[in-house]
Each structure stands twice: as C-alpha cells, then as structure tokens.
Structure 1
Amino acid sequence: MSVPDPSEFSAAWVSAWNAHDLDAVLAHFHDDVVFTSPLAARLVPDSGGVLRGKEALRRYWTEGLRLLPDLHLTVERVYAGVTALVITYRNQAGGVVDEVLVFADGLVVEGHGTYLVEP
C-alpha cells in the first residue's frame, strides 16, 4: 500500500497537532510538499492559498498557532485510498475540516485543507 497505516498515521498526526508540536507534524511532510488551503490564502495573502515547500508550511502553521492558541482537533473519520488519506476532524470551534493528504514514499507530497460548506 502506498499510504501509511491510516489509524497509526491519524493518531500520530492529531497527537502532534494537539501538542502544538510543529516539528512532529512536519515530520510527515516531504521537503517539496505543496499544500493548499483557503485559510492559507487569508493568513499568507501573497500565497493565493498555495504553499510550496516545508518551510512555507512551517511559517503558515506557526502563524496559525499564534492566532489560535487553543487549537484542538478531534478526528472523526479517516478514509484510505491508494495514495491518499483523508482525515475528517472537528476543530476547537466545532468546524468540520477534511485534510486530504497524498503520499509518496511514506511522506505527504500534496495536501489540501478543505472546509465544510453549509448549503
């Protein structure tokens, strides 16, 4: 399988986030990762919501944790594909988010933060 064990990965991922341990979170990501998020478009306006490379991701998430010191995630579901995992979680504000993570050689090479849209 091209993705890591879904249960183990999601448990380590949420544990790192809830500890606000960016080094542990970023250990799952390739140096040349591409990550998209509408929140990144707001926090890093010149990105257009597209972050390229682990250091850009570190800067974005460092700012996010600064602005959300009470950040806490609860995993609700995990979906596994051939090369991707989708982690559905609820954040500290009750918002529902899907993190779509595409893997190569055990590391995330592409990620997408997607947010529930109410009709």
Structure 2
Amino acid sequence: MDYAAFADEWEAAWNAHDLDRILAHYSADVVFRSQKAMRLTGRGEIHGRDALRAYWAAALDQQPDLSFIVVDVLRGHGMLVILYRNQSDVLAAETLRFGTDGLIVEASACHKG
C-alpha cells in the first residue's frame, strides 16, 4: 500500500465532506474509537460502518468548516498513523489498522488538549 497516497486521499475526502468517499476505506464491521464520539453518541467506541456514518454525519453537521491538513504519516505493519491539524490548528492522530482486503478494520482518533 502507498501510505502517503492513502493519507492524501483521506485528507481530500474529509476536506470534501464526502461521507461515501471517506467510508469507502472502511470495512462493514469496523471498530472506531474516539473520545470526541462521547459528546454525540454517549460512547467512545462505534461499531460498524453504518453507525460510523451516522456519527460522522452528525459531527459534520455541527462542524461545517471542518478541514484537515496532514502533517506526517507513520507506517506500521498493516497499519498507519496520520498526524494532522484541524481547522482550529489542533493536532490529532488517526491510527488505522487494515484487514487483508485493504479496508480499515480498526481506527482510533486522538486529539491534543
């Protein structure tokens, strides 16, 4: 996998606010973890692409100016970490673990502050 190209596509999909494009990278049974999910869902772990779509749709509705700038990409075995800054210049990291089919099976978001 070309991790730099993946990060570029990830950034572009988020900046376009295109949920179909974003979710195309995720498996149907993905597990997503984020402390920020607590505010909208009451839990920090989301199971399944459909639930993830509902969460991100609500999050995008609340943040119409959301945008990301990739700062760096760290490679691992079957995974990568995307370091990025959002529209408020908050540093964050998205850790993505891929299945054998190349789709994300597990994702975790961490934010500074």
Paired residues in the alignment total 112
Give deviations 1:86-119, integer Å, cap 9, x for gaps.
Answer: 00000001111100000012000000001124xx
Give 1:39's aligned residue.
Answer: 36
Partner of 2:109: 113
Which one of the candidate residues 81, 92, 95 is aligned to 2:76? 81
Deviations 1:13-35 (A, max 9, x none): 10000000010000000000000
Q: Provide the alpha-carbon RMSD of the alignment.
A: 0.7
Runs of 4+ in 1 over 4 A off after TM superposition: none
Alignment partners' CA distance in 2, 1:72 and 1:109: 24
Normalising by structure 2, we get a TM-score of: 0.96
AA partner of residue 112 (structure 1): S
Percent of aligned pairs with the same residue? 46
Q: What is residue 6 of structure 1 aligned with on the other side?
A: 3
Partner Cα distance (1:80, 1:5) in 2: 10
Q: Which sections of structure 2, spanning at least 5 residues, go unmatched?
A: none
The letter of the residue matching 1:39 is: K
Structure possessing the higher relative contact order (Cα contacts under 8 Å, 6 or more residues apart): 1
TM-score of the aligned structures, taking structure 1 as reference length: 0.92
